[in-house]
Amino acid sequence: MTDIKCKLLIIGAGPGGYVCAIRAGQLGIDTVVIDEGKPGGTCLNVGCIPSKALIHAADEFHKIKHASDGPLGISVDAPSIDLAKTIAWKDGLVQRLNTGVAGLMKKAKARFVSGRARFLDGKTVQVKNDDDTYSIRAEHIVVATGSAPVELPFLPFGGPVLSSTEALNLTDIPKSIAVVGGGYIGLELGTVFAKLGTKVTIVEAEDRILPLYDKALTGPVAKRLDDLDVTVMAGVRAQGYENGKLKTDQGDIAAEKVLVTVGRRPRTIGIGIDELALTLDGPFIKIDKTCQTSMRGIYAIGDVTGEPMLAHRAMAQGEMVAEHIAGLSVEWDKNAIPAVCFTDPEVVTCGALPDEVEGSKTSEFPFQANGRAMTTEREDGFIRVVWRESDHAVLGIQAVGAGISEMSAAFSLAIEMGARLEDIGSTIHAHPTQSEGLQEACLRALGHALHI
């Protein structure tokens, strides 16, 4: 292949990279996207999408399996699941989305190039694809290489020790699995296997699961794990795996498989970032309010720029960078980014946390007082509003509850639009829905909740 010249080169076709490419193409920017994998990146291929597919399958199986135990009068005899067939369905969804993303980039006239990229200088990237090597020179370059699972030196990936990628491709249900790391990835996948019938043990070095969230939010998740017969060992450190047992500082745990989910690291090794001497923020690439790095003409978006490592954050950054390169007056605003744990029940946070802003107060509404929650047999959880006492501005919203992720857009919209308690409280919410909990939390803050 001959050398290529373009105005914008994007390294990485994950959520940030492909959205940046689509928006740049819409704005008439000559754009090339390079990735050694399929379009969609970690999120589409081995992360967000496949994990949610398996979460759904496990939920459905667990509901059917235990339907006879509930009060609804449903009787079911000996249901079973063919995990290999489930994985094939999941893979089919991923393939459809791969094709869709590739089609969207082509429609926007952004060229996709398969290969591995490495910086030669601040304007030139070398590409290797099998035996073919060539260069791409661009006026602007966006680093969107994403992240990879952190590997522990005493628990290297391979054989029975799995990263989230391998766990999402198991075709047989393990009898037992030890999950090292009680963050959102470990809990999501641990819950999947527990619902499929695996004996799950979660080992977390901190004193509780989901340590980045407050205890009120994580309490319903911990209770649900207990209901699912998941053993949670907090304040315990893994030390290795030998002879079918996970070694910890508090004894051995029998486990057919070990799933390591202790975090993710930015993918910067091997692409020549060190040779450019870009300013870093710890292991991450430091950026300004327009996602520019310390070198003019080079941008970075998504997981390589640090927390929160969220696909929709990367998408928003990619769109903004394309518009900035096109000459539009835009900058990065991260005040209203929702974060979702797809645990059971789900957890959503957006904006300010309790006590984070001086002069703020909180108000909660429990789903035990919500008619819709009662009719779905899921009364666990609540919606909490963080608001400023001086003007009643809504600064943050947190919630835990079944299916609460679908309300995350309402939470971020309220904060982004500068809503006050009175705005949400006076908005008519459909009945019966869980969304009434948001209205009721605001009414409670104003001193006149209707259903509690």
Residues labelled as active-site residues = 431
Q: What is the DSSP string of 211-222?
A: TTS-HHHHHHHH
Q: For the chain, count helices (H), then strands (E).
A: 13, 24
Question: For residue 366, is the peptide bond before it cis, meaning its omega torsion is within 30 degrees of 0?
Answer: no
R_g (Cα) of the chain, nearest Å: 23
Q: Which amino acid is at 381?
A: G
Q: What distance in Å separates the CA atoms of residue 296 and residue 312, rounded to the nearest whole number?
A: 25
Buried b (16+ CB within 10 A) or exposed e, 135-171: bbebebbbbbbbbebeebeebeeeebbbbbebbbebe
Instruction: Go through the chain and tell me how many residues it has.
Output: 452
Q: Are 325 and 140 in contact (CB under 8 A)?
A: yes
Is the backbone of residue 77 left (phi > 0), alpha (psi -120 to 50) or beta?
beta
Cα distances (angstroms) measured from residue 193 to each of 138, 180, 230, 260 = 46, 14, 10, 14
Question: For residue 432, is the peptide bond before it cis, meaning its omega torsion is within 30 degrees of 0?
Answer: yes
Q: Which amino acid is at 234?
A: A
Q: What distance in Å separates the CA atoms of residue 318 and residue 313, rounded to the nearest whole number?
A: 9
Q: Are 210 and 187 in contact (CB under 8 A)?
A: yes
Q: What distance in Å separates the CA atoms of residue 200 and residue 449, rounded to the nearest whole number?
A: 41
The DSSP call for residue 151 is: P
Dihedrals phi, psi of 446, to nearest 5 degrees: -80, -5
Q: Are 374 and 451 in contact (CB under 8 A)?
A: no
Residue 355, C-beta contacts closer than 8 angstroms, at least 6 positions apart? none
Q: Are 104 and 18 in contact (CB under 8 A)?
A: yes
